[in-house]
Amino acid sequence: GASGGTLKLVLCALSSCAAPQQFPAAQIDAGQGMVVMTDKNSNAFFLSGSSWSKLGSVPLKHVSVGPPGIWGVDRQNEVYKFVATDFVPTRGLELKQVDAGGQGQIVGVTISDSIHCLNANRASSIKELMNWNTMSGLLIYYSCAPTGCWGVNSEEQIYFMVNFKSAISVEVGSDRNVFVVNRDGQTGISGQVPQGTGWKKIEMSVKIKHASYDLGYLWLVSETGFIVKCTK
């Protein structure tokens, strides 16, 4: 981790950032020392050593891992929680994206871009019916860390407490680093100050569609479905 200011990331190319592949990858998330992903066929996986292992039996389009465990959504926007050996459905709300990176809470957005939060007590409950809180505003993607939450709206604007620049997705690492992917498939990193001091563009040899960061590793998914792993 850094002590402050704007962080810099070692620039890397696909050939020099080899990662275990599970082609074609669609989305990836890292947290609590774990890495999970989905492929374009809605299969979920977790990284076990240097290879990917199947995660549950439920077809999912998006998965997230963090303090409240592993959560996901399927193509019908049903929300699932991983319990024991498989994903179990939760009732109460349909979401197109969820994030488990906060302080035990689960956040997500609906197909109409409304923003919702499930507090830590409810997220840890074994009850099937979940009572979500609705938040003000509209976002297409939402991600949290212990220090705060970030989101992207349909205008490709990034939000924390103030407005920054354009992006299509944003991910917050457990060490407070924030990464965004813009429409051109480029990735940037913010400083350790919760709302950031600026963005550093990370030059990549391929277009990126999804990014996630944890424990010093930046995990990326290219538009063609390859996984890239970079270190600071």
Fold that domain 25-162+173-231 belongs to in CATH: Methylamine Dehydrogenase; Chain H (2.130.10)
- Omega into 89 within 30° of 0, i.e. cis? no
With a cut of 90, say whether residue 140 has pLDDT above it.
Answer: yes
Domain boundaries, the chain: 25-162+173-231
With a cut of 60, say whether residue 125 has pLDDT above it.
Answer: yes
Q: What is the 3-state secondary structure (H, E, C) of 38-57?
A: EECCCCEEEEECCEEEECCC
Give per-residue pLDDT as tens, 98-120. Answer: 999 888 899 999 999 999 999 88
Greater model confidence, 200 or 65? 65
In angstroms, the CA 194 to CA 88 distance is 34
pLDDT at 9: 35
Give per-residue pLDDT as tens, 173-228. Answer: 666 566 777 777 665 555 555 556 677 777 777 888 888 888 888 888 999 998 88
In angstroms, the CA 160 to CA 135 distance is 14
Question: In 10 A of CB 163, how many CB atoms?
Answer: 10
pLDDT at 185: 66
Per-residue pLDDT, averaged over 2-16, amounts to 36
pLDDT at 189: 53
Per-residue pLDDT, averaged over 13-28, amounts to 74
Q: Predicted confidence band at 15 (pLDDT cuts at 50, 70, 90)?
A: very low
pLDDT at 229: 86
pLDDT at 161: 44
Contacts of 54 (CB under 8 A, 6+ apart): 43, 44, 45
pLDDT at 76: 97
pLDDT at 46: 97
CB 36 within 8 A of CB 64: yes
